Amino acid sequence: MMGQFVLRRRGAPLAPLIVAVVVFAFVSLLAASSPVEAVQLDRPPAAEALTYNLNLAWVLLMSFLVMLMQLGFALLETGFTRAKNAVNTMAMNLVVYPVGLIGFWLTGYGFMMGGIHQWASLGAFGLAHRELGVRFGHHAFGLIGFSKFGLIAVNNDPGSLAMFLFATVFMGVAATIPTGAMAERWKFSAFLLYGFFMSMFLYPLYANWVWGGGWLSQLGVNFGLGHGHVDFAGSSVVNMTGGLTGLAGAMVLGPRIGKFRRDGAIGLMAGHNLPLAMAGTLILAFGWFGLNTGSTLAASDPRIGLIAVNTVLASAAGSLTAILYLQQRYHRPDVAMACHGLLGGLVAITASSAFVSPAAAVLIGIIAGFLVVASVLGLERRLRVDDPAGAIPVHGVCGLWGALAVGIFADGSYGDGWNGVAGPVRGLIKGDVGQFIAQVIGISTNAIVVLGLAMAFFVVVERTIGNRVPAEVEWSGLDALEMGSEAYPNV
């Protein structure tokens, strides 16, 4: 009892900090949201070639950073699972990369970006993004791309090749998220099948609708709903897709043996290496710079400064909120939640990182921090879904929140011409209800189509080769009986 009291008192002085930060963020949000002209740099023809070079290099560099996120996810998920499944968890995160690459090369990129024909002719690479929907979308109300399979037609276009790499590593992130939710019980052959399904079809489909000139990107042009569904760097396209696919998989798989007991108790099932999970978190935070600042497709767009700052501030706010909230409520600094909060902040700022002020980024991160804590607890206790690595709360829930946040906080300082709509992107705080509706439509579509197709896929697999390892394999560990290699055989 005394110990409890001591801990409670220790937590107390930190409590007002969240309040202070929220107040400050709100006040500075108001100060910051006055209309500002976007800085326009004039560029005579002589400098255009160099701008192209700079931007090509930028897209590649940012792709490299995003690629390292495979390592971040691998460490995070492996740390949060048990030693007897460490090789299996690590292997899924490693193998999804080559599987996804080949699948995306074969059909995925064609489905996603096949409606856009002229990356090559874009002298200033970075200008492309915002004009895709109208100028290059080859469907008035597009459902899927259909060209560039195997990169054959664009072998000699550096812009298309860099775009392929950038799109590939984004897909890799989406594809590796479900391995966290479905860890410790997934049959490896079923996982391999999933890898091809995700990279060849499911991810490209929704990505086409938002980033490939598809119908969600044209909600603005066709129906006057703001700039259509706007997702700067993947809150919905990458994270929500990954999170909801993981949700579908975890529901079809069912919980790990021993997670939910008959008497209603929930098994703890702590991961075997928390420092590994923390290392993974920091690597993800590093790679996230690629995700967000790379999504200008242009180092020549000075907006990268704001994007990078928003990214770190939201992650900090998410992490700090989760720590202090739990310190307040449970009287101990929950380190796993600090990681989830940090990642939740990153996921949430992803869609809006170019469109909001730093103060708004802090607010978005704070809300993400609360959402992560609430949804980690709610998922287990209410929905009784077993998600060993917290993939569904972090990527699914915060991804949804992030896509919504564009429709609320976009402050009208960026995005002129985005998806073919003149004028900057504005959210509710600037009075554009249409943009908010476009965000809701994009999120709902993801929740219906991605979740539905993923569920359908897992059910079909369940009825054919099966998704789940036998109970005796799960008891002994997937490493011994499924993978044939133990993680730490020799210690």
Rank residues 199 and 446 by Cβ distance to a second copy and give the closer one: 199
User: Is residue 65 close enough to count as binding a second copy by CB under 8 A?
Assistant: yes
User: Is residue 258 close enough to count as binding a second copy by CB under 8 A?
Assistant: no
The dihedral over CA atoms of 114, 117, 121, 122, expressed in degrees to the nearest 10, equals -60
Q: Which segment (217-225, 276-284, 392-400, 449-457) binds a second copy by CB under 8 A?
A: 276-284
Neighbours of 328 (CB within 10 A): 14
- Among 355, 392, 450, 448, smallest CA distance to 180 is for 392
Neighbours of 441 (CB within 10 A): 17
Residue among 135, 147, 257, 358 that touches a second copy (CB under 8 A): 358
Rank residues 251 and 373 by Cβ distance to a second copy and give the closer one: 373
For the segment 95-134, give every residue that binds a second copy (CB under 8 A). 95, 97-99, 101-102, 105-106
User: Is residue 151 close enough to count as binding a second copy by CB under 8 A?
Assistant: yes
Rank residues 342 and 385 by Cβ distance to a second copy and give the closer one: 342
For the segment 228-257, give every residue that binds a second copy (CB under 8 A). none
d(CA 24, CA 181): 36
Burial class (CB in 10 A: 0-12, 13-18, 19+), 459: middle
Rank residues 422 and 491 by Cβ distance to a second copy and give the closer one: 491
Measure CA 113 to chain center: 19
Q: Give me the numbers of helices (H) and strands (E) for the chain, helices first please.
A: 22, 0
d(CA 486, CA 479): 5
- Nearest approach in angstroms of CB 370 to a second copy is 10
Q: What's phi and psi for 226, nearest 5 deg?
A: 50, -135
- Nearest approach in angstroms of CB 174 to a second copy is 16
Q: Which segment (90-98, 241-249, 372-380, 388-396) binds a second copy by CB under 8 A?
A: 90-98
**Cβ atoms 202, 454 nearer than 8 A:** yes
Size of the site for a second copy (CB under 8 A): 168
User: Is residue 374 close enough to count as binding a second copy by CB under 8 A?
Assistant: no
For the segment 193-232, give every residue that binds a second copy (CB under 8 A). 193
- Nearest approach in angstroms of CB 379 to a second copy is 19
User: Is residue 413 close enough to count as binding a second copy by CB under 8 A?
Assistant: yes
Rank residues 90 and 225 by Cβ distance to a second copy and give the closer one: 90
Length of the chain: 491
Burial class (CB in 10 A: 0-12, 13-18, 19+), 27: exposed
Rank residues 143 and 471 by Cβ distance to a second copy and give the closer one: 471
Rank residues 201 and 286 by Cβ distance to a second copy and give the closer one: 286
CA geometry: angle 46, 52, 57, nearest 5 deg? 140
Q: Which segment (188-196, 208-216, 228-236, 400-408) binds a second copy by CB under 8 A?
A: 188-196
Rank residues 5 and 223 by Cβ distance to a second copy and give the closer one: 5
For the segment 283-322, give every residue that binds a second copy (CB under 8 A). 283, 285-286, 289, 293, 299-300, 302-306, 308-309, 312-313, 315-321
d(CA 419, CA 432): 16
Neighbours of 470 (CB within 10 A): 12
**Cβ atoms 416, 36 nearer than 8 A:** no
- Among 478, 441, 427, 451, smallest CA distance to 33 is for 427
d(CA 288, CA 177): 14
- Nearest approach in angstroms of CB 446 to a second copy is 27
Q: Which segment (69-77, 136-144, 200-208, 432-440) binds a second copy by CB under 8 A?
A: 69-77
Rank residues 142 and 393 by Cβ distance to a second copy and give the closer one: 393
d(CA 383, CA 376): 10
Residue among 184, 231, 334, 474 that touches a second copy (CB under 8 A): 334
Rank residues 83 and 144 by Cβ distance to a second copy and give the closer one: 83
User: Is residue 490 close enough to count as binding a second copy by CB under 8 A?
Assistant: yes
Q: What type of residue sits at position 189?
A: S
- Nearest approach in angstroms of CB 464 to a second copy is 9
